[in-house]
Chains A and B, each alone.
Chain A
Amino acid sequence: MSQSGAVSENPYALPATDLQKLFDSLTQRGYQIIAPTVLDDAIVYEPVESVNELPAGVTDEQRAAVYRIKRRSDKAMFRWAVGPRSWKHYLYPPHQRLWEARRNGGSGFDVVAEPEEPPVYAFVGVRPCDLAAIAIQDRVFLSEQYRDENYGRRREKALLIAVNCSHPAGNCFCASTGTGPHAQTGYDLALTEVLDSKQHYFVIELGTERGAEVLEGVPVQPASPEQCEAAQRVLENAARQITKRMDTTDLKELMYRHLDSPHWDDVAKRCLTCSNCTMVCPTCFCHTVEDVTNLQGTVAERWRKWDSCFHIDFSYIHGSPVRVSESSRYRQWITHKLASWQDQFGVLGCVGCGRCITWCPVGIDITDEVNALRRSEESKAALTSPKEESHANP
């Protein structure tokens, strides 16, 4: 399912030295640019104005529970994989006031909706797995039946400038989930960074009209066949670097067969129920709603806040929580991601970004847990078959 398909038709090329002109074009059109930058020893998405803030010459190394940034010998700007933050920090902020109510002097109160218009974002450096994650959150928040305006007004104005992967990290398994390392859809523009001893440029694929618009005034040229081939090699090379796999055959059924597996108790011995995995996951969308008041009781506010299935009160229903044990909470998370999500939204809830593996403080690996379930079935099969034989031949 790996996506290293060919660069789409009629791409453009832009010298790396002119990338700032694309940034300027975005700023002039009123976009707030959110792009990768180095902050506190990690590459995170932050508001930036200049290409000088990009992580040029920086890369990352990732293993379970380990993330390290490293210097590179070159000046590549996008040769790294995803960091701890995802775009949901901007499209679906961790804390969000939904409305406030004020007493109106009489016996009633007035509800004041949130006045503040969210910024119009241009996301630069969206990885293919994150494009897929945004598409998943679109299904969650923007379904025809249940539309979330708070997400909608951020999402619909946002411009997505993808950058294809040239340096997948150790925990990336997008090839297994069919979401990377080459962006196929869901972007306004998709860039591939090419850097060799002689040249440093971007091959730009157009996704939408809006993408084409922001290129107006930016000194792009039609990409030459050689440039397209060079971009193609970057993508093929990236696909080869992805070694982590998660076998998705029969995945939903596998998970459902293991609702009562003793394996969940094994995970519970390791799991801290700290919620880091759900907070870093670009598709996790669960939240709680809190009402606050001031001391005089004249103002009340309703806030939406990221929540997690690893919290006990998350499953509180009329009198007591449903998922008290640690094992039931981990099982809920992984079963939702890989199985019931498919029933609910028609897609896998995991895009293979590997964040939950890297940022789990004790390195619990979603792909390992799936493998453990598969192995338990294989060993069961191995155990039962000789028995059947002996039964047949008493």
Chain B
Amino acid sequence: MARTTKPKLAVWKFASCDGCQLSLLDCEEELLEVAGAVDIAYFPEATRAVVKGPYDISLVEGSITTPHDAERIHQVRRASRFLITIGACATAGGIQALRNFKDVREFVGAVYATPQYIQTLSKSTPIHDHVFVDYELRGCPINKYQLLEVLSAYLHGRRPNIVPHSVCSECKRRGVVCVMVAKGVPCLGPVTHAGCGAICPSYGRGCYGCFGPKETPNTASLSKRWRQLGVKEEDLVRAYRGFNAYSEAFRRESESHER
């Protein structure tokens, strides 16, 4: 297809570990293809060249944790035609959202010598709490093939093949033997969004919920099963308080085991 100008892509970072952006660099072979298909205009992690906005596609990594970032995300939104959040931090608040269950001032007092220099918000929140998001890509980290799929779908005007089904659906299609049924290992797969390809069950481990809640997650029923498998209430709280602790379904389930 003859395209006169390539779409401009920007990658933005908020509170995060950079792991999701690195998935883009991790594309190695495909990276040249990406560079051929889009104009990587703003990507401080990879290049110092900066092209001014507006941008056709913005990939946003990280959560909002500071007053400054709460402002900056609005600038990013204004400069972006299509905004895609990538990863558990941007879509659910990330592991740093564990602060949301406690008083952040106590942490700041305990960690920093001069807490008065620290400007931080009481909660770590996902990007969709602040601005309109066109597409959310889940995962901690995201799956690079899903990232390529979203970009490819965007470029060719089709719907991305990314589904909100359970990890179990991927697990079974791969022919992995269910660790919960065959070994009694607790697994979050039945309530977790697909996307990783059931990595942990394929290594005999239970799913940790990196991709956050799936569509209609029945966490109460799964927790009941976990209790039968011998998991304690406090460990259920911990299981749901991972990278997606502040996602609605996991937050409510963890809180229901705290009481």
A27 within 8 A of B: no
Contact in complex: A280, B175 (CB < 8 Å): no
Number of interface residues of B (CB under 8 A): 47
Interface secondary structure of B, over-half rule: helix
| Cα(A325)–Cα(B152), bound, Å | 32
In contact, A290 and B161 (Cβ under 8 angstroms): yes
Q: Which residues of B contact A361 (CB under 8 A)?
A: 168, 178, 180-181, 187, 189-190, 222, 225
Q: Which of A269, A275, A279, A361 gathers most chain B CB within 10 Å?
A: A361
Are A67 and B165 within 8 A (Cβ)?
Answer: no
Q: Which of the residues A272, A308, A358 comes within 8 Å of B191, measured between beta carbons? A: A272
| B221 and A271 contacting across the interface, CB-CB below 8 Å | yes
Q: Which of A269, A273, A293, A295 has the most CB of B within 10 A?
A: A295
User: In this assembly, does A326 line the interface, its C-beta being within 8 Å of a C-beta of chain B?
Assistant: yes
Cα–Cα distance between A297 and B178 once the two chains are bound (Å): 37
- Whether a CB of chain A sits under 8 angstroms from the CB of B176 is yes
Q: A273-B216, A279-B173 are in contact. Are A295 and B187 (CB under 8 A)?
A: no
Given the contacts A272-B166, A326-B218, A294 and B225 also touching, CB distance less than 8 Å: no
- B204 on the A face (CB < 8 A): yes
The stretch of B28-36, B50-58, B76-84, B232-240 in contact with A is B28-36
* Cβ–Cβ contact A67 & B181, under 8 A: yes
Q: Is the CB of B165 within 8 A of A311?
A: yes
Chain B residues contacting A274 (CB-CB under 8 Å) are 166, 168-169, 189-191
User: Does A374 count as interface, using CB distance less than 8 angstroms?
Assistant: no
Contact with A85, one of B151, B175, B225 (Cβ below 8 angstroms) = B175
Q: Of B1, B168, B177, which one neighbours A44 at CB under 8 angstroms?
A: B177
Contact check, A362 vs B177: say whether CB atoms are below 8 A apart: no
* Shortest Cβ distance from residue B153 to the other chain A in the assembled complex, whole angstroms: 8
B182 part of interface (Cβ distance < 8 Å) = yes
Chain A: residues with Cβ within 8 Å of the partner, total of: 46
Main SS of chain A's interface residues? Answer: mixed
Q: Hey, which chain A residues are within 8 Å of B221, CB to CB?
A: 269-272, 362
How far is A306 from B166 in the complex, measured between Cα atoms in Å? 13
Q: Which of A68, A295, A308 contacts B151 (CB 8 A)?
A: A295
Chain A contacts of B218 at CB under 8 A? 269-273, 326
Would A40 and B204 count as touching, CB distance under 8 A?
Answer: yes
A272 in contact with B178 (CB, 8 Å): no
Let me know if A313 is at the binding interface, CB within 8 A: yes
A312's closest neighbor in chain B, by CB? B215
Q: What 0/1 pattern do residues 167 to 205 of B give for CB contact below 8 A with A?
A: 011001111111011111001011100000000000010
Indicate whether A292 sits within 8 Å of B176 (C-beta atoms), given known contacts A297-B1, A361-B181.
Answer: no
Residue of A65, A89, A294, A311 touching B33 (CB-CB under 8 A): A294
Tell whether B39 is near chain A: CB-to-CB under 8 Å.
no
A76 to B14, CA, bound (A): 61
In the A-B complex, the 8 residue pairs with the closest CB atoms: A279-B172, A94-B173, A274-B190, A272-B190, A40-B177, A274-B168, A42-B177, A274-B166
Q: List 28 A-B contacts (CB under 8 A).
A: A40-B204, A41-B183, A42-B182, A66-B184, A67-B178, A269-B221, A272-B166, A272-B191, A273-B166, A273-B216, A273-B218, A274-B189, A275-B172, A276-B172, A276-B190, A279-B169, A293-B156, A296-B33, A297-B155, A306-B173, A308-B165, A311-B163, A312-B215, A312-B216, A326-B216, A359-B181, A361-B189, A362-B190
